[in-house]
Structure 1
Amino acid sequence: MGIETTRADRKANKESRELPKATDTNSKSKHGRSRRRRKKMSPVQKLFETCKEVFANGRPGFVPPPEDIERLRAVLDKMKPADLGLSPEMLYFRTQVGRGTPAIRYLHLYENEKFSMGIFCLPPSGVLPLHNHPGMTVFSKVLFGTMHIKSYDWVVDAPTTTSIDVNPSEITAAAVRLAKVKVDSDFTAPCNASILYPADGGNMHCFTAVTACAVLDVLGPPYSDPDGRHCTYYLEFPFTSFSVDGVSVPEEEREVHAWLQERGKPDLSVVGAEYRGPPIVDK
């Protein structure tokens, strides 16, 4: 509509030189202010608005159309630490002396029933253990630093077997299930966002901070215990640890297969911290 109005103004100016100049100047001024307002939208606000559109029909198991996946990914790929008020010098990212498992800070940006946005701040050697994302599409963007990501997908139709938990303090029978490695690599910023899906793309994954790093996560839909979308953690065992009738893997592929077993919550300290970056306005 703005384009049509501009064209009409040009036509009127051409046909009649008696139009007051102030009218034309005011029109241009309004369009100029409108363009400036659009340009002033912060990157994090743009991310929020894009998430609202991409996950408008979000529900468990929902995967946005390919064009929406790429649109959201393109926004994430451009995100920089400064866009979120972050820098490697912040206390969150310092080496923690005297701790076996470094504490991880989580900065909550936004959450509703459709999607959530947040940032994990990991000091060197910080670990988010192997866990799943039931019924979710997840975008992860390393903002700075180097992160090792290892992820698995379930091997469809592979039978399960029963094993004895290797932890002596928890001698219980638990099923193990065959999974295949999807990703096992270091990601160093700047790099593109990674995406996992409800049934593939590495739905179970583990983050290990090679250096201090920050990871921006978008989950659609978010975790929800009342709706059965709770976080499950896993132990992983080499394929050769168990022999299961009906399961065979070529020798050259055994290194990329593993048995996963559900476990209780590990020794993990994730501490909420205040997000101090540019505000997100939910209009």
Structure 2
Amino acid sequence: MGIETTTPNRKGNKEIYGLPVETNSHSKPRKCRRRHRKMSPVQRLYQTCKDVFSFCGAGIVPSPEDIQRLRSVLDTMEPADVGLTPELPYFRMTVARRTPAITYLHLHECEKFSMGIFCLPPSGVLPLHNHPGMTVFSKLLFGTMHIKSYDWVADAPEDKSTSANPSPATPPGVRLAKVKVDADFTAPCNTSILYPADGGNMHCFTAVTACAVLDVLGPPYSDPDGRHCQYYLDFPFSHFSVDGVSVAEEEKEGYAWLQEIEKPEDLAVDGAKYRGPKIVEN
């Protein structure tokens, strides 16, 4: 699924974030200012992503200055900037499925980054999943969403046996994680950011109301490059006992055991054409 693109006029002035960086003797400053005023918010987002992720890759996080620059652009984004309203059919409840289908609107993808929007009807769920080697920006455009996220506990042993508590038996390969976020968020709110090793790299989205979240991933998922989307089940810390792992009683709610699973069978993500302002790829 792609978006319609147009080819920029290569004879004109180059622009970064809508600002002219090179002017020839025949160019008029007024024309450049007019171009800057006409740049749409989603085009500005694309240009910023292209610059921020240009020298990044798997496990390489943009500089703090670039993180803040991209976050500032996303913080100002509104539903109308990407052609969305809560009245669109993506956000309606359906009775045909037990688990509501989620709609994904593809804005752009290249080897450096991707941009897209998840549209969730009430009770829609994006199950717990990871973002290997990726820096992810998520901007809630409207609605209320519950986010629960985890980071791996460094150096915590994996349980590869079934010798723990007899009831229930410990599944093989469970791994300890620390809760990073467990709260409701209501738009407008600041953009959330997660990193390859911290910030809540594994997260789950649950729509309290109909909502839309604009996601920027750098770099995007890529099975050939080892960036596969892995899903998990989470269990309370007290559910299992693993040799060599202990947590103070008052801190147990801040930890959980995560177990890798196959993609949930009831997860339905339908692609739909993005119909907001066009993005000119250059």
TM-score above 0.5: yes
Offset, 1:256: 1.0
Q: CA RMSD in A?
A: 1.6
Which residue of the other structure, out of 11, 25, 39, is the alignment partner of 2:37? 39
Give the Å deviation of 1:51. Answer: 0.2
1:268 — aligned with what?
267
What letter matches 1:46 in structure 2? R
Q: TM-score with structure 1 length normalisation?
A: 0.86
SS in 1 for 2:176: strand
Distance 1:204 1:99 in 2: 26
How far off its partner does 1:173 sit? Answer: 5.3
1:136 alignment partner, one of 134, 137, 149: 134
1:92 maps onto 2:87 in alignment: no
Letter in 2 for 1:278: P
Q: Which residue of 2 aligns with 1:182?
A: 180
The CA distance in 1 between the partners of 2:114 and 2:188, in whole Å, is 23
What is the CA-CA distance between 1:37 and the residue it aligns to?
1.1
Residue 150 (structure 1) aligns with: 148
Deviation per CA, 1:77-134: give whole Å up to 9, x if none. 0000000000000000011124210000000000000000000000000000000000
Cα separation, 2, equivalents of 1:34 and 1:160: 58
Residue type matched to 1:176 in 2? V
- Counterpart CA distance in 2 for 1:185 and 1:86 is 25
Retained in 2: the 8 A contact 1:163–1:176? no
Alignment of 1:163-202 (within 5 A): 174-202=172-200
1:73 paired residue number: 71
Tell me if the contact between 1:47 and 1:76 (Cα under 8 Å) persists in the aligned partners.
yes
Q: Percent identity over the alignment?
A: 76
Given the superposition, is the C-alpha separation of residues 114 and 120 from structure 1 closer, same or farther in structure 2, using an over 3 Å criterion?
same
1:277 equivalent to 2:279? Answer no
Contact 1:137 1:221 in 2 (8 A): yes
| Residue equivalent to 2:255 | 257
Q: For the Cα contact (< 8 Å) 2:144–2:208, is it kept in 1?
A: yes
Instruction: Mark the runs of 5 or more structure 1 residues left unpaired by the alignment.
Output: 1-26, 165-170
Query: What does 1:214-253 align with in structure 2 at a 5 Å threshold?
Result: 214-253=212-251
- Tell me the distance in 2 between the aligned counterparts of 1:163 and 1:104: 37
Larger Rg belongs to = 1
TM-score, normalised to structure 2, is 0.86
- Structure 2 unaligned segments of length 5 or more: list them: 1-24, 163-168
CA drift of 1:30 comes to 2.9
| Count of aligned pairs between the two proteins | 250
Letter paired with 2:46:
F
2: CA distance between counterparts of 1:121 and 1:87?
11
**Secondary structure, aligned partner of 2:80:** helix
- Quickly say closer, same or farther: Cα 1:176–1:40, change in 2 above 3 A: same
* Alpha-carbon distance in structure 2 between the residues aligned to 1:73 and 1:163: 43
| Residue in structure 1 matching 2:123, options 102, 122, 125 | 125
Query: Retained in 1: the 8 A contact 2:156–2:175?
Result: yes
Residue correspondence of structure 1 range 96-107 to structure 2 within 5 A:
96-107=94-105
Question: Greater helix share, 1 or 2?
Answer: 1
| SS, match of residue 227 in structure 2 | coil
Query: Hey, what does 1:24 align to over in structure 2?
Result: none
CA drift of 1:162 comes to 3.6
Alignment CA distance shift 1:250-1:111 (3 Å): same
Task: Determine the structure 2 residue equivalent to 1:56.
Answer: 54
Structure 1 runs of 4+ aligned residues shifted over 4 Å read none
Q: CA deviation at 1:33?
A: 2.5
Equivalent of residue 82 in structure 1, options 80, 83, 95? 80
For the residue of structure 1 that corresponds to 2:77, the secondary structure is coil
1:163 deviation in Å?
A: 6.5
Q: Shift of the alpha carbon at 1:174?
A: 2.8
Distance in 1 (CA, whole Å) between partners of 2:44 and 2:196 is 25
- Tell me if the contact between 2:170 and 2:240 (Cα under 8 Å) persists in the aligned partners: no
**1:39, distance to aligned residue in structure 2 (A):** 1.0
Q: Is the CA contact 1:138–1:197 (under 8 Å) kept in the aligned structure 2?
A: yes
